[in-house]
Amino acid sequence: MQSHTAYCSACDQDVRVVITDAPTHDGQAPLADAQVVCLDFAARCTGSMCPMFGLPRILMGVRLAQSGLRPDAFDTVSAPCPACDTPVELQMIDDQHVFCPSCGARSKWVKMQVGDHDYVALATVGGE
């Protein structure tokens, strides 16, 4: 993995990025290519696109969650994953998407308040 620092115009400061290693062998299995992951993805990333890499903001959040490099970067919600039905701490990518660290599914979510209690409604969506 290669680690770099780059200037992000959206948050007006240098951020840490890594380029993941590419697969070391060929094969029939679907292998991920090397990917850029922003280690400083956070709530301040408010645009629809990452200004540094021209990728959708949600994709940068999902890549960080998938990498497992900064699990502390996300707030979590305890709920069964709608894709694998496993009770887990779903990572909140943004106010509309959560990531399941167990199966890797990305799901849409809506937080509703009924009286004094908060409820979370989940609906499965596709991956990146």
For 53-67, what is each residue's pLDDT tens digit?
888 988 999 999 999
Beta strands in the chain (DSSP E): 2-8, 13-19, 36-38, 76-80, 87-92, 97-99, 106-114, 117-124
pLDDT greater than 50 at residue 127: no
Question: What's the Rg (C-alpha) of the chain?
Answer: 16
Q: What is the mean pLDDT of the chain?
A: 83
Tokens found for residue 57: 């903001």
- Domain-by-domain residue ranges, the chain? 1-73, 74-128
pLDDT greater than 50 at residue 128: no
Q: Enumerate the β-bridge partners of residue 117.
A: 114
CA nearest to 32, candidates 63, 74, 75: 63
Class at the top of the CATH hierarchy for domain 74-128: mainly beta
Confidence (pTM): 0.78
pLDDT tens-digit readout, 10-56: 888 899 999 888 766 665 555 467 888 999 988 777 778 888 888 89
Phi/psi for 55 (5° steps) reads: -105, 155
